[in-house]
């Protein structure tokens, strides 16, 4: 992995990727173990942003703008997704008080 | 109108009559049914006369029915002197019989009345298709359709269990023959790559012309095909060993017995052998088998007729016997003579059946001759016509039966080789027995005193519609013989000359000895006809069977054929079917079907455990899958 210049100092690109991996894992574990719907939504956002970070890193390293464009796209989609997800949650909270997402498992096979 | 259009129209008349009666018959007034039913047959008769008088010949192809690679089946009709001859018999005698049915079936209600004429017209159409077909495929179609119409008409009174059983028996026997026909046609197609008569016979004639296939052993495939076609002919014509259906077929209405089981359909086997004569001329073993089967059946059926008491059954066995004569004739190569007997038999046997129908009608459906007696005084016209038919059956000069039967025996006698001489001996013996059983039938029914248990004291003569066809046929029986008097060694031979272009000439001369032998046979069988009077009316002589009770029992049981077939085929099949229903169908077949269902339900139940409905579980599987995929990718790239 080649060096990258960031504010005058050199940083190895792998640091960014490691951070991104840690953030992604945190998000994934959060989705798996937490039960509050709101927290799960936040964890999903965390995973998305970890991916965005990876994209920007590679974009910078390869000197190619496609990764950054893709990140902008991803942020847009994430915003839309958050709106939809939150709207669904608000609607559910209107009808009943849900603290545990497992209470919403009504469509059993 | 061209000849090909006339030929097609000849087929379409009975077909359209059948369709009209089948679709609308139950709503039409009876008079319309009574006009349409026989009318379409007479229309076909007129068209046949047109073809006959214009001496039309040709192989008319209308369209291609099947085309698949080199396999091509055209719809073609072959018009030659043989098919015209058969069409004349079918539509002429058929027209008389269908007209007679107008009176005979009078007591049926409207729908049944229309149903009867529908079936009759279907039969006429099928029989015409059979004789006009120009290729093996349509021959088999017609062959199967006449079997179907025979089945429908035997079982016409379907409320009677015996009629339904008889219809089923006839159908099964005929299907055995159909299978033989289909296999035979298949072998011919495989060998000669053609399904048309012109194609197949062209190859065979070319082969004979090149001296390649002349005798036994040159063409095993032709022998096999000829034997298989013979199976079809034997089943349709009720010859041994596929004969047991014909006596039972007498369960059908009497006009059906006259038309299908005497005059036309049962002679289809004779037509088949005649039409296939290029094959049988080469396939000498199969050809000899035709003669032997015919001779044996003639004798066999005549002996059974000696002890039957049901008037229609006597006639049925005599039909088998007379068709045996025709098989004998075509089997020794005297094709045209066989067809002359076919014509003669159509006249006098249709006459006998219809006259018997008049008697049965007058006796309120009683068919047992022991309960008749002395009918001649009360039914003079029917009795007289019956006597003419009986004497023709016996072969008394100058009725048509004499000239045709004695010419067959004369041809066999003149050919002179061991096979021909042995079938001549059997045929001559049969002629004597025929004289006796025919005499027994006539004297028992019409002479002597009325039997004490006779169901009707003062029977009435049949109405005109039932009497006129009988009298017309009686007239034809009297004069018909004079068109071919070769049995006497002199005079014209109209039928043989007419058919020569289709089936060829006999390749040997009739000698004077045959004429003498024929006259001796005739005199002896006539004497036996009158001797029967002493046995069965005056009773001055003790009945022969009183001295031979075992022979009487053997004949009454019809040589135990039904019992043997029952034991050999019906019961084993029943046992297999019962075993299959109990031990195979339940555990194996039902088990397999139900087991498939159970397996699917169990699998679904197992898989449904994975659908917990918990979001976490799904994500876990998803993440786990992604991890596994990532690990695999790493391993591969490493």
Q: Are B310 and B344 in contact (CB under 8 A)?
A: no
**Which residues of chain A lie closer than 8 angstroms to B614, CB-CB?**
102, 105
Among B616, B625, B627, most A C-beta atoms within 10 A, so best to mutate, is: B616
Q: Please enumerate residues of B whose Cβ is less than 8 A from a Cβ of A.
A: 608, 610-616, 619-620, 623
Looking at the partner chain, which of B611, B615, B623 has a beta carbon nearest the beta carbon of A28?
Answer: B623
Residue B351: which residues within 8 A CB-CB, separation 6 or more? B385, B386, B388, B389, B392, B470, B473, B474, B477
Measured at the alpha carbon of residue B495, what is the angle toward residues B498 and B12, in degrees to the nearest 5? 70
Considering only alpha carbons, which residue of chain B is nearest residue A102?
B614
**Which residues of chain B lie closer than 8 angstroms to A28, CB-CB?**
623
Looking at the partner chain, which of B613, B615, B623 has a beta carbon nearest the beta carbon of A108?
Answer: B613
Q: In whole angstroms, what is the distance from residue B165 CA to residue B176 CA?
A: 17
Mean pLDDT of B258-266: 87
Considering only alpha carbons, which residue of chain B is nearest residue A35?
B616
What phi and psi values does residue B285 have, to the nearest 5 degrees? -65, -45
Structure confidence at residue B270 as a pLDDT band (50, 70, 90) = very high
Q: Are strands B58-68 and B71-79 parallel, antiparallel or unpaired?
A: antiparallel
* Tens-place pLDDT, residues B483-529: 887 777 777 888 888 888 888 787 777 787 788 888 888 888 888 88
Q: What is chain B's mean pLDDT, rounded? A: 87
CB neighbourhood size of B591 (10 A)? 12
What phi and psi values does residue A59 have, to the nearest 5 degrees? -60, -45
* Tens-place pLDDT, residues B54-83: 888 888 888 888 888 888 888 989 999 899
Q: Which residue(s) pair with A45 in the sheet?
A: none
Size of interface A-B (CB pairs under 8 A): 28
B27-32 contact pairs (CB < 8 A, 24+)? B28/B114, B30/B110, B30/B113
Q: What per-residue confidence (pLDDT) applies to B450?
A: 80
Considering only alpha carbons, which residue of chain A is nearest residue B616?
A32
Q: What per-residue confidence (pLDDT) applies to B293?
A: 92
Decide if B620 and A104 are in contact by the 8 Å CB cutoff.
Answer: no
Most confident of the ranges A104-108, B23-27, B384-388:
B384-388
Q: In chain B, what percentage of residues exceed pLDDT 70?
A: 98
Mean pLDDT of B340-344: 91
Among A41, A54, A108, most B C-beta atoms within 10 A, so best to mutate, is: A108
Burial of B179 (0-12, 13-18, 19+ CB in 10 A): middle
Decide if A104 and B615 are in contact by the 8 Å CB cutoff.
Answer: yes
Decide if B613 and A101 are in contact by the 8 Å CB cutoff.
Answer: no
Looking at the partner chain, which of B613, B620, B623 has a beta carbon nearest the beta carbon of A107?
Answer: B613
Q: Are B327 and B239 in contact (CB under 8 A)?
A: yes
**Which residues of chain B lie closer than 8 angstroms to A32, CB-CB?**
616, 619-620, 623
Q: What per-residue confidence (pLDDT) applies to A108?
A: 54
Q: Are strands A9-12 and B58-68 parallel, antiparallel or unpaired?
A: unpaired
Structure confidence at residue A48 as a pLDDT band (50, 70, 90) = very high
Burial of B473 (0-12, 13-18, 19+ CB in 10 A): buried
Q: What is the pTM of this model?
A: 0.78
Considering only alpha carbons, which residue of chain B is nearest residue A106?
B613
Q: In whole angstroms, what is the distance from residue B531 CA to residue B555 CA?
A: 20
Residue B141: which residues within 8 A CB-CB, separation 6 or more? B129, B133
Decide if A101 and B623 are in contact by the 8 Å CB cutoff.
Answer: no
B560: left (phi over 0), alpha (psi -120 to 50) or beta: left
Decide if B619 and A32 are in contact by the 8 Å CB cutoff.
Answer: yes
Considering only alpha carbons, which residue of chain B is nearest residue A32?
B616
**Whose CA is closest to B388, among B378, B379, B399, B375?**
B399
B61: left (phi over 0), alpha (psi -120 to 50) or beta: beta
Rounded to 10 deg, the angle between the B400-415 and B512-533 helix axes is: 130
Considering only alpha carbons, which residue of chain A is nearest residue B606?
A109
**Which residues of chain B lie closer than 8 angstroms to A89, CB-CB?**
none
Looking at the partner chain, which of A33, A101, A109 has a beta carbon nearest the beta carbon of B611?
Answer: A109
Considering only alpha carbons, which residue of chain B is nearest residue A40?
B616
Q: Is this prediction's ipTM beyond 0.90?
A: no
Looking at the partner chain, which of B610, B612, B615 has a beta carbon nearest the beta carbon of A101?
Answer: B615
CB neighbourhood size of B160 (10 A)? 12
Q: In whole angstroms, what is the distance from residue B353 CA to residue B72 CA?
A: 43
Among A32, A38, A89, A98, most B C-beta atoms within 10 A, so best to mutate, is: A32
Mean pLDDT of B245-252: 87
Decide if B614 and A102 are in contact by the 8 Å CB cutoff.
Answer: yes
Decide if B612 and A108 are in contact by the 8 Å CB cutoff.
Answer: yes
Considering only alpha carbons, which residue of chain B is nearest residue A44?
B619
Q: Is the pLDDT of residue B538 over 80?
A: no
B241 preceded by cis ω (within 30°)? yes
Q: What per-residue confidence (pLDDT) applies to B243?
A: 87
Q: What per-residue confidence (pLDDT) applies to B26?
A: 79
Structure confidence at residue A47 as a pLDDT band (50, 70, 90) = very high
CB neighbourhood size of B38 (10 A)? 26
Q: Please enumerate residues of A whose Cβ is less than 8 A from a Cβ of B.
A: 28, 31-33, 40, 101-102, 104-109
The distance of A8 to chain B (nearest Cα, Å) reads 35
Q: Is the pLDDT of residue B578 over 80?
A: yes
Considering only alpha carbons, which residue of chain A is nearest residue B621?
A32
Decide if A106 and B613 are in contact by the 8 Å CB cutoff.
Answer: yes
Element (H, E) at B59: strand B58-68
**Which residues of chain A lie closer than 8 angstroms to B616, CB-CB?**
31-33, 101-102
CB neighbourhood size of B585 (10 A)? 13
Structure confidence at residue B630 as a pLDDT band (50, 70, 90) = very high
Rounded to 10 deg, the angle between the B494-503 and B335-362 helix axes is: 120
Q: Is the pLDDT of residue B52 over 60?
A: yes
Decide if B619 and A101 are in contact by the 8 Å CB cutoff.
Answer: no
Q: Is the pLDDT of residue B347 over 50?
A: yes
Considering only alpha carbons, which residue of chain A is nearest residue B612?
A108
**Which residues of chain B lie closer than 8 angstroms to A104, CB-CB?**
615
Q: In whole angstroms, what is the distance from residue B277 CA to residue B495 CA?
A: 17
Q: Are B283 and B228 in contact (CB under 8 A)?
A: no
Bigger pLDDT: B485 vs B387: B387
The distance of A68 to chain B (nearest Cα, Å) reads 24
Q: How many Å is the Cα radius of gyration of chain B?
A: 30
Q: In whole angstroms, what is the distance from residue B349 CA to residue B324 CA?
A: 14
Q: Are A41 and A8 in contact (CB under 8 A)?
A: no
The distance of A56 to chain B (nearest Cα, Å) reads 21
Length of chain A: 109
**Which residues of chain A lie closer than 8 angstroms to B606, CB-CB?**
none
**Whose CA is closest to B276, among B172, B354, B200?**
B200
Q: In whole angstroms, what is the distance from residue A31 CA to residue A28 CA?
A: 5
Mean pLDDT of A73-79: 93
Residue B439: which residues within 8 A CB-CB, separation 6 or more? B390, B394, B528, B529, B530, B531, B532, B533, B536
B325 preceded by cis ω (within 30°)? no
**Which residues of chain B lie closer than 8 angstroms to A105, CB-CB?**
612-615
Among B604, B615, B620, B623, most A C-beta atoms within 10 A, so best to mutate, is: B615
Burial of A39 (0-12, 13-18, 19+ CB in 10 A): middle
The distance of B625 to chain A (nearest Cα, Å) reads 13
* Tens-place pLDDT, residues B212-243: 666 666 678 888 888 999 999 999 998 988 88
């Amino acid at each position: 992995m080649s060096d990258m210049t960031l504010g005058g100092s050199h940083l190895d690109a792998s640091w960014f990727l490691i951070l991104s991996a840690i953030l992604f894992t945190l998000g994934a574990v959060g989705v798996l173990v937490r039960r509050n719907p709101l927290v799960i939504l936040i964890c999903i956002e965390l995973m998305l942003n970890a991916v965005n970070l990876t994209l920007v890193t590679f974009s910078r390293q390869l000197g190619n703008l496609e990764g950054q464009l893709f990140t902008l796209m991803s942020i847009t989609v994430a915003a839309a997704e958050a709106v939809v997800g939150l709207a669904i949650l608000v609607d559910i909270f209107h009808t009943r008080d849900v603290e545990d997402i497992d209470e919403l498992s009504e469509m059993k096979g | 109108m061209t000849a090909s259009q006339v030929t097609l129209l000849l087929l379409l008349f009975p077909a359209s009559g059948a369709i009209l009666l089948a679709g609308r018959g139950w709503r039409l007034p009876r008079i319309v049914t009574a006009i349409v039913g026989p009318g379409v047959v007479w229309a076909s008769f007129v068209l046949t006369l047109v073809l006959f008088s214009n001496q039309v010949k040709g192989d008319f192809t209308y369209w291609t029915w099947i085309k698949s690679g080199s396999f091509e089946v055209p719809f073609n009709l072959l018009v030659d002197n043989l098919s015209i001859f058969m069409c004349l018999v079918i539509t002429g005698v058929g027209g008389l019989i269908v007209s007679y049915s107008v009176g005979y079936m009078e007591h049926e209600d409207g729908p049944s009345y229309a149903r009867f004429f529908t079936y009759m017209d279907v039969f006429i159409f099928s029989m015409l298709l059979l004789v006009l077909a120009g290729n093996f495929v349509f021959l088999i179609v017609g062959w199967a359709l006449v079997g179907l119409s025979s089945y429908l008409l035997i079982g016409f009174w379907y409320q009677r269990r015996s009629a339904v059983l008889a219809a089923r028996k006839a159908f099964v026997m005929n299907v055995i023959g159909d299978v033989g026909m289909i296999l035979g046609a298949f072998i011919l197609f495989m060998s000669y790559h053609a399904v048309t008569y012109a194609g197949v016979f062209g190859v065979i004639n070319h082969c004979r012309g090149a001296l390649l296939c002349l005798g036994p052993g040159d063409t095993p495939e032709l022998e096999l095909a000829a034997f298989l076609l013979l199976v079809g002919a034997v089943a349709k014509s009720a010859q041994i060993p596929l004969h047991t259906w014909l006596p039972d077929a007498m369960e059908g209405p009497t006009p059906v017995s006259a038309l299908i089981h005497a005059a036309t359909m049962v002679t289809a086997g004779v037509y088949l052998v005649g039409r296939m004569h290029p094959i049988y001329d080469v396939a000498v073993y199969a050809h000899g088998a035709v003669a032997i089967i015919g001779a044996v059946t003639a004798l066999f059926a005549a002996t059974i007729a000696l002890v039957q008491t049901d008037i229609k059954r006597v006639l049925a066995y005599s039909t088998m016997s007379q068709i045996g004569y025709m098989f004998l004739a075509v089997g020794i190569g005297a094709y045209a003579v066989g067809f002359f007997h076919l014509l003669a038999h159509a006249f006098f046997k249709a006459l006998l059946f219809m006259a018997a129908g008049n008697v049965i009608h007058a006796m309120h459906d009683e068919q047992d001759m022991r309960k008749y007696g002395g009918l001649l005084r009360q039914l003079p016209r029917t009795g007289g016509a019956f006597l003419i038919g009986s004497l023709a059956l016996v072969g008394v000069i100058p009725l048509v039966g004499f000239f045709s039967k004695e010419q067959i025996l004369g041809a066999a006698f003149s050919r002179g080789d061991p096979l021909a001489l042995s079938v001549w001996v059997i045929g001559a013996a049969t002629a004597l027995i025929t004289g006796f059983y025919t005499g027994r039938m006539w004297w028992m029914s019409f002479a002597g005193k009325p039997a004490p248990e006779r169901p009707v004291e003062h029977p009435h003569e049949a109405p005109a519609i039932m009497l006129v066809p009988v009298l017309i046929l009686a007239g034809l029986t009297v004069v018909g013989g004079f068109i071919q008097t070769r049995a006497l060694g002199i005079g014209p031979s109209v039928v043989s000359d007419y058919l020569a272009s289709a089936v060829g000439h006999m390749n040997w001369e009739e000698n004077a000895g045959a004429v003498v032998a024929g006259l001796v046979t005739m005199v002896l069988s006539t004497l036996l006809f009158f001797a029967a009077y002493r046995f069965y009316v005056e009773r001055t002589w003790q009945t022969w069977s009183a001295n031979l009770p075992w022979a009487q029992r053997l004949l009454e049981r019809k040589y135990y054929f039904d019992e043997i077939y029952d034991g050999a085929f019906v019961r084993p099949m029943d046992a297999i079917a019962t075993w299959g229903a109990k031990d195979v169908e339940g555990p194996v077949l039902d088990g397999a079907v139900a087991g498939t269902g159970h397996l699917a339900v169990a699998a679904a139940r197992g898989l449904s455990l994975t659908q917990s409905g918990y979001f976490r579980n799904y994500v876990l599987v998803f993440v786990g899958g992604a991890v596994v995929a990532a690990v695999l990718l790493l391993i591969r790239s490493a």
